[in-house]
Amino acid sequence: MASVKNAPRPSYYKGRATLDRRLASMFSPRSVNAPATVSRLCLVGSYAAAEAGVSTFITDMRNALLADRAETVVDVVRTGAHGERDARSETVRSVGSSDEDSRSAATLMNEYDVVVIHYAADAYADDEGGQVLDILERVTVPVVCVMHDVHLEPTARQRFIIEMLTSSADAVVALTETSRRALLDDYHVEPRKLVVIRYGRLPAPTAHPAAAAGRTPTVLTWGRLYAGMGLELGIDAMARLDAGPLAPRYVLAGPIDDAYAQDLTRRAEALGIADRVELLPGYMRPGRLAEMVSGADMVLLPYTENDRTSSAILAEAVGAHKPVVSTPFPHACELLEDGRSGTLTPYADVQAMADAVGDLLADADRAHGDVVSDGLPEAGAQSWADAASQYRQLINVVFRSSSTASR
């Protein structure tokens, strides 16, 4: 099988970044008084009960922040709402695309101690998510930006938005090392304001359904299902595996457009594997998703996009010790290129993908979820409790810095 590696991108920032616990002393004067902490926090971004991606991230982050600080107010300003309302009590504003929406949202956000903006291009109105700048220019309280989208080959508009956003923020969070290096090298973010906080993941179910002899193996792809995920290639690869009673079933789980779902179903039927391709449309509740990931034998990521610097699905799969077959997008190269937790295959090479899936399923230990991955779960994802602790530390540092500057 062909081995695949992206050409290394030169970077002046080689080391792995972690939160520095000395940051607080750099920003705040020493005092005998207890340090100030944030009591009112506003999270901003896509937030809908039936969506994956950033919405799920904000939900999990909010729950984790409240888990041991229940007295903290953690409200949400929902963007990309297109006039829709959200009945959940924590959603204090739903923002459409108008100037007035941006202005009124910023006015409300200024009532909080700190605002955390989650940036993904499809979470905001305007071309490439430019609405985030309209909101940010009116915000006067400290801002932390969590960068879900960092393009390695940005358009001029994408570069402008990310550079303006990160230069205006008080702190910037990268979700992966690849994102961090891109933000430093390509977008020139100040190193002092940039930290890496890895994806949080929910605890796996205690009862792990171990693979048993004679059980049909399961290959899983989940998330928001769209054409850029290369799901057609995944179905084609499944069709090239040997048929038989133990031929793997391919499960596709997550929100999906009806027309695209029909296209995938017709493709599976044309290849004669409709009985081995299972489509589970719609948002997966965290508990159900955790069970599904735990019960899978491996995860397939056939993405056709080559500038993905972060993937929550990949982080969750590696953190759950699941073997992964993936195309070589940047985050996958970061976690998988040493081969300990999966295999990289060339873009659009269906046969290489099929061979890699077959090889991993034939490896009994790895196919049963017993991947030996010393240090890899920590590189891919961490518990949400640990992630929330790091976010809280960073948010408080930014808040104290702002309080000191205003004296």
Question: Is a pLDDT exceeding 70 seen at residue 350?
Answer: yes
How many beta carbons lie within 10 A of that of residue 185, not counting itself? 15
The identity of residue 361, as a single letter, is L
For 187-238, how does the pLDDT look when each residue is reduced to its tens digit (9 = 90+)?
Answer: 999 999 999 999 987 666 544 444 445 578 999 999 889 888 899 999 999 9
Percent of the chain with pLDDT over 90: 50
Tokens matching residue 110: 């200024």
- On the 0-12 / 13-18 / 19+ scale of CB atoms within 10 A, 277 is buried
> Are the CB atoms for 144 and 398 separated by under 8 Å?
yes
pLDDT, tens digit, for every residue of 277-317?
Answer: 999 998 877 778 888 888 899 999 999 988 889 998 898 88
Position with higher pLDDT, 386 vs 96: 386
The residue whose two tokens read 């702002």 is 402
Is residue 389 pLDDT above 50, yes or no? Answer: yes
User: In which band, very low, low, confident or very high, does the pLDDT at 328 lie, cut at 50, 70 and 90?
Assistant: very high
Distance CA 309, CA 330 (A): 5
Say which residue, 366 or 261, is predicted with more confidence: 261
pTM: 0.83
In the numeric block, the tokens 């998330």 are attached to: 223
Which of 315 and 2 is assigned the larger pLDDT? 315
Q: How is residue 19 written in tokens?
A: 């939160």
pLDDT tens-digit map of 127-178: 677 889 989 999 999 999 999 999 998 989 999 999 999 999 999 999 999 9
Q: What is the pLDDT of residues 242-254, one digit of tens each?
A: 766 678 999 999 9
The structural domains of the chain, ordered by start, are: 23-200+382-405 (3.40.50.2000), 218-367 (3.40.50.2000)
**How much is the average pLDDT of 251-263?**
93
Confidence band (pLDDT; 50, 70, 90) for 83? low
Query: Hey, is 277 helix, strand or coil?
Result: strand
Phi, psi of 335 (to 5 degrees): -100, -25
Q: What is the pLDDT of residue 376?
A: 46
SS3 label, residue 301: strand
Is residue 64 over pLDDT 60?
A: yes
CB contact at 8 A, 367 and 298: yes
Average pLDDT over residues 350-371: 76
Ranges assigned E (strand) in 122-274? 143-147, 171-174, 194-196, 199-201, 218-222, 249-254
* CA pseudo-torsion sign 130, 135, 136, 138: positive
Output 240 or 339, whichever has higher pLDDT. Answer: 240
Long-range interactions of 364-370: CB distance < 8 A, separation 24+: 366/298, 366/323, 367/211, 367/217, 367/297, 367/298, 367/323, 368/210, 368/211, 368/297, 369/208, 369/210, 369/211, 369/294, 369/296, 369/297, 369/320, 369/321, 369/322, 369/323, 370/321
Can you give the pLDDT at residue 208?
A: 44
Token pair for 241: 């595996």
The pLDDT score that the predictor gives to residue 378 is: 52
**Band of pLDDT at residue 361, cut at 50, 70 and 90:** confident
Is residue 277 a contact partner of residue 238, using CB atoms and an 8 Å limit?
A: yes
- Please state, for a pLDDT cut of 70, what percent of the chain lies above it: 78
Specify which residues 143 forms β-bridges with: 115
Lowest mean pLDDT, pick from 19-33, 76-90, 237-251, 260-274: 19-33
Q: Is 245 helix (H, G, I), strand (E, B) or coil?
A: coil
Handedness of CA 357, 362, 368, 374 (dihedral sign): negative
Can you give the pLDDT at residue 404? 61
CA–CA dist 271, 178 (Å, integer): 37
Predicted local confidence at residue 379, as pLDDT: 57
| pLDDT at position 33 over 70 | no
Residue 287, by phi and psi: left (phi above 0), alpha (psi -120 to 50) or beta? alpha
**In the structure encoding, which two tokens stand for residue 166, read together?**
């990160």
pLDDT band of residue 337 (cuts 50, 70, 90) is confident
Residue 364 clears pLDDT 70, i.e. is over it: no
Q: Residues 90-113: what's their mean pLDDT? A: 90
Say yes or no to pLDDT of 402 above 60: yes
Could you tell me which of 291, 225, 297 has the C-alpha nearest to residue 264? Answer: 225
pLDDT at 18: 53
Check if the beta carbon of residue 204 is closer than 8 Å to that of residue 369: no
Q: Which residue has the tokens 């590189």?
A: 379
Per-residue confidence band for 48, with pLDDT thresholds at 50, 70 and 90:
confident
Mean pLDDT of 241-266: 88
Torsion of CA 289, 291, 296, 302, to 10 degrees: 10
126 pLDDT above the threshold of 90? no
Task: Give the C-alpha separation, 276 to 250, whole Å.
Answer: 6
| Positive or negative: CA dihedral 386, 392, 395, 398 | negative
**Separation of alpha carbons 218 and 337, rounded Å:** 23
Between 6 and 324, where is the model more confident? Answer: 324
What SS3 string covers 318-342? HHCCCCEEECCCHHHHHHHCCCCCE
Mean pLDDT of the chain: 83
